[in-house]
Structure 1
Amino acid sequence: MMIDGFATRDDETRAFSQEERSFARGELARGARAGDYVVGYSIARGGCGAVYMARHAQTGARVAIKVLHGTLAASPKMVRRFLREVEVVRLLNHPGIVAIHDAGELADGRPFYVMEHLDGVTLDVLLRQEGRLSPTQALELLEPICSALDAAHAAGIVHRDVKASNIFVTGGAPRSVKLLDFGIAKLMEPDAGASGFTTAGRAPGTLTIMAPEQILGGPIDARVDVYALGVLLHRLLTGKLPFYSPDATELLRQHLEEPPPRPSRRTPLPAALDAVVLRCLEKQPDLRFPSVMSFLGTLREAVGEPAPRLGSLPDLVADAIAIHVDLRARLDADEIDDLLAEEIGRVLDLAEERLRGAGLALVSMTGNEILAMRVLPCDAEGALRGRRGVIELAAALHDEIAIGTRAARPGARVHANLCLHAGPVAVRSTQSPEIVGGALARVGAWAPAEDVDELCATAEAVRGIDDLELSAGPPGLVLISACPGQISSPAPTLRSGPA
């Protein structure tokens, strides 16, 4: 039996229609009304609510509407938190924070609020599209965010969730940056005492950015946002989070116990930027920057400070060849577990041993990547021999990893991309060259984004080496199918988990 288009219990076996499924999820249909606004299309859907593009019924002005999920609307606590976000944002009224115009309830009682509509993408999406940023670009993005946070802290509000997906970057010129989602912000309570921000109890947040005191449920203040800024700055500069594990318990342990990695271990950066990030990520709040503006001031100085030099020698430009080792868990693999993490670790250890043993400089290392380089002789013949030797090394390493990880077998859980490129780098000292930058270090510009089964290389890496068997690879790359002069691979030393 049907009532108003919906199935009743007399017709339980009938499949639900799209309209019914949307109704059950609390989704708003195109043309639905939310106060004085007409809903258009869905923009985003998160754990607590959904956001829609809408227009004012009379003026046609475009806005964004956030609606609390129906299942959460039954909880008075969640409704209070949702409405508190409106209170927080209206209290601040800052140009770096998305503006809220109106609030109300749908016919079914769910609360919603109306905010300015922004054209652009979140910083998280921008980083996934463009990779890591230069220090100057990172500073430009963080300046308006720090200004917004400073206003929030002055008003007695701690954001507690400063991350790339909560930062919106508009398109066009001039570009603006907005801080989003004050849904879990901590408002200063009337009886909070002189500290203003302090509250006790386990705080909500995002595990990848949470400060130790936030994890432990202790008192928190503005310095948890400083910690999150350190995590964000590390990601902006390196493209990677300072702490990460697929296991939540291990991730929390890293925040509580492990010293943070220096960004310069992952990409060439001045020591002054290392110092800024490491101070933000101190385990003890008292050791961090006392405010976001003191953090910003120090960051400005670090960005304007050149990389340290060895004595009075200037940086030199030299030709080099690079090997990029990029380990990936197959998308169709089982859920990441300890065995998979151990296997990735063993491959990285093997690659590091082989590359160091061959005398290459390890320019950057992360939890799944290694970038190694060798500076080439100045004469053409010596440079050609140097490139050939590194290609032979890469071919042997590629085969050894493939055998050890059973990469050639169906269902292999770890895939290794190995890619070669040759070009100029900036170095210090002519006695023991230290590689500090250059186009060769910008891996995202030449390494493949997709999985590649063969050893691959740029035209610059293989130019003039005639006895390689080459075939077309991804755009801008060739595949090295055979290397006649390949050095013999040692017996595989990897021990894989169960097949």
Structure 2
Amino acid sequence: MDGLATRNDETRAFSLEERSFSRGELPCGARAGDYSVVTPIARGGCGAVYEARQLRSGARVAMKVLHGTLAASPKMVKRFLREIEVVRRLNHPGIVEIYDVGELADGRPFYVMEHLDGLTLDVLLRQEGRFSPEQALDLLEPVCSALDAAHAAGIIHRDVKGSNIFVSRGAPRKVKLLDFGIAKLMEAEEGPTGFTTAGRAPGTLTIMAPEQILGGPIDARVDVYALGVLLHRLLTGKLPFYSPDATELLRQHLEEPPPRPSRRTPLPAALDAVVLRCLEKQPEHRFPSVKSLLCTLREAVGEPPSGRSSLPELAADAIAVYLDLRARTDADDLDDALADALGLALDVAEERLRDAGLTLVSMTGSEILAVRVLSCDPAEALRERAAVIEIAAALHDELAQRSRADGRVHPNLCLHAGQVVVRSTIHPEIIGGDLARVGAWAPVEEVHGLCATEAAVRGVEGLELSAGPPGLMLIGERPPSCSSPAPTLRSGVSGGVS
């Protein structure tokens, strides 16, 4: 039977539905009180979230169910019920609304909340790389408002991060603060009924304030610290502190001065000051409240640094280098060695491109888009494009050599020339344009070799070109420096390249 199971087989693979039941997940059509499961939405450390329909009205809702493995723990059940109590107590437009509470047939608690159509800020950051100060303020205002309400009610969130902030699609855009699962009431919680004890620090390591890491007394200023981490990431596309090694990451939070966001992207000193004050090691040196943080952030964004707000937006010719690191592994198999290899490759690329004078327009956990604005003089612009191609070729060689150490990391590197939209300053701020839309010109497939569009290589001599993916060509040789005589072009691609 070619390996196909028959009805009489005693051994066969579990069906998807059976595997779901074995993990405690709810299959499509499962009943939960007055609700029917439609499809899974997300799965976290404590529970799973499903899209569901109310049987009587057909209303679309979201339902969070405690994991089966945790339901046997009275402490975890109590924490789950505490989350419901916390959210219901707040009743704020920036916090998801809970409609109903119930219990599955197997005893697991669940609650039903408003269904949100959109994506988390964490996903949005991975897609966009970074945001302008105005966009960052627009996203943080409703988060700060929700936190201010929580703090006024005596509740500390303790886990303010991109994956716990939801941004709806369409207009007007709604921003919601999610997951109060490890929230702490600011009244005393000592003794056997409390959820935390000295020396234990629930939360996410990349955003935790020093006092939270150390398991000492905490207050609303741990959320101010987390907002500082988030603001740094919104403005630069990167976390202020990161290491794949947990011990090293904790040491950075406890000992290292936070980096200024303006080291990564052009920003006014006033925004540096806001972020650095949020990330002070001592809580008394931070903003005393999210309200005071938001007020200062508004002022910093509203200030026209060097006349920034009144500067015209101009179109300019530029060349872009786009690095896309491909991880050859399943999404669930991102081990420490692979994460370390990806991080090192990104660090190398960032350093080489920044040192070469390119502007890093966006950075994510696996991508970098770097741009150089070209001279208005055609001859000089041609030399600048040749220089950037040479830089990209050297970077590709270095990254390819590194990738041999861990074959699961593959660097896709591509060049394109076109227009960008800039604000005219001494250090032009790139805010848009054709080059920023990498999906329109970068390769979808894995490419072996440095690739480029025809616009990137047009007129550059000394390149060995061959056909690449659709619309692209592969560069086989590094171009000579501008002072060296150009060798004869050997091109396998026709059409305007000289």
TM-score (norm 1): 0.79
Q: For residue 351 of structure 1, what is the aligned residue in structure 2?
A: 352
In 1, Cα distance between equivalents of 2:56 and 2:344: 61
Following superposition, the deviation at residue 35 of structure 1 comes to 1.9
Q: For residue 218 of structure 1, what is the aligned residue in structure 2?
A: 216
Q: Is the 8 A contact 2:414 2:442 kept in 1?
A: no
1:355-394 Cα distance to aligned partner (Å, 9 max, x none): 84xxx42545989888777665543223323333443344
Q: Is the 8 A contact 2:118 2:168 kept in 1?
A: yes
Following superposition, the deviation at residue 82 of structure 1 comes to 0.2
1:241-275 Cα distance to aligned partner (Å, 9 max, x none): 22222221121112112222222222222222222
In 2, Cα distance between equivalents of 1:307 and 1:473: 44
Q: For residue 295 of structure 1, what is the aligned residue in structure 2?
A: 293
**Is the alpha carbon distance of 1:278 and 1:203 closer, same or farther for their aligned partners in structure 2, counting shifts above 3 Å?**
same
In 2, Cα distance between equivalents of 1:308 and 1:414: 41
- Counterpart of 2:178 (choices 161, 177, 180) is 180
In 1, Cα distance between equivalents of 2:189 and 2:399: 61
**Is the alpha carbon distance of 1:440 and 1:458 closer, same or farther for their aligned partners in structure 2, counting shifts above 3 Å?**
farther
The percentage of aligned residue pairs carrying the same residue is 67
- Counterpart of 2:129 (choices 128, 131, 145) is 131
- Counterpart of 1:361 (choices 357, 361, 372) is 357
Following superposition, the deviation at residue 149 of structure 1 comes to 0.4
Gaps of 5+ in 2: 1-8, 191-195, 485-498
Q: For residue 450 of structure 2, what is the aligned residue in structure 1?
A: 455
Matching of residues 195-274 of structure 1 within 5 Å:
200-274=198-272
Q: For residue 90 of structure 1, what is the aligned residue in structure 2?
A: 88
In 2, Cα distance between equivalents of 1:226 and 1:396: 42
Following superposition, the deviation at residue 453 of structure 1 comes to 3.3
Q: For residue 405 of structure 1, what is the aligned residue in structure 2?
A: 402
Following superposition, the deviation at residue 343 of structure 1 comes to 6.2
Q: For residue 97 of structure 2, what is the aligned residue in structure 1?
A: 99
**Is the alpha carbon distance of 1:17 and 1:475 closer, same or farther for their aligned partners in structure 2, counting shifts above 3 Å?**
closer
1:402-439 Cα distance to aligned partner (Å, 9 max, x none): 4x4365x993756373646465655655xxxx454455
Gaps of 5+ in 1: 1-10, 193-197, 490-499
- 1:417 paired with 2:418, answer no
1:125-147 Cα distance to aligned partner (Å, 9 max, x none): 22223332222121111111111
Q: For residue 494 of structure 1, what is the aligned residue in structure 2?
A: none
Following superposition, the deviation at residue 280 of structure 1 comes to 1.1
In 1, Cα distance between equivalents of 2:175 and 2:343: 40
**Is the alpha carbon distance of 1:341 and 1:250 closer, same or farther for their aligned partners in structure 2, counting shifts above 3 Å?**
farther
In 2, Cα distance between equivalents of 1:282 and 1:290: 12
Following superposition, the deviation at residue 42 of structure 1 comes to 1.7
**Is the alpha carbon distance of 1:329 and 1:217 closer, same or farther for their aligned partners in structure 2, counting shifts above 3 Å?**
farther
- Counterpart of 1:395 (choices 393, 396, 407) is 393
Q: For residue 4 of structure 1, what is the aligned residue in structure 2?
A: none
Q: Which amino acid aligns with 1:102?
A: D
Q: For residue 39 of structure 2, what is the aligned residue in structure 1?
A: 41
Q: For residue 52 of structure 1, what is the aligned residue in structure 2?
A: 50
Q: Is the 8 A contact 1:36 1:57 kept in 2?
A: yes
In 2, Cα distance between equivalents of 1:343 and 1:146: 34
- 1:73 paired with 2:71, answer yes
Secondary structure of the corresponding residue to residue 242 of structure 1 = coil
Count of matched residue pairs: 461
Following superposition, the deviation at residue 441 of structure 1 comes to 12
Secondary structure of the corresponding residue to residue 31 of structure 1 = coil
- Bigger Cα displacement from structure 2, 56-65 vs 374-383: 374-383
**Is the alpha carbon distance of 1:327 and 1:248 closer, same or farther for their aligned partners in structure 2, counting shifts above 3 Å?**
farther
Following superposition, the deviation at residue 233 of structure 1 comes to 1.3
Q: Is the 8 A contact 1:56 1:63 kept in 2?
A: yes
In 1, Cα distance between equivalents of 2:271 and 2:216: 29
- Bigger Cα displacement from structure 2, 198-207 vs 96-105: 198-207
Q: Which amino acid aligns with 1:462?
A: V
**Is the alpha carbon distance of 1:217 and 1:406 closer, same or farther for their aligned partners in structure 2, counting shifts above 3 Å?**
closer
Backbone CA RMSD of aligned residues:
3.9
Q: For residue 187 of structure 2, what is the aligned residue in structure 1?
A: 189
Secondary structure of the corresponding residue to residue 170 of structure 2 = coil
1:99-134 Cα distance to aligned partner (Å, 9 max, x none): 111112112111111111111111122222333222
Q: Is the 8 A contact 2:416 2:435 kept in 1?
A: no
Q: Which amino acid aligns with 1:417?
A: L
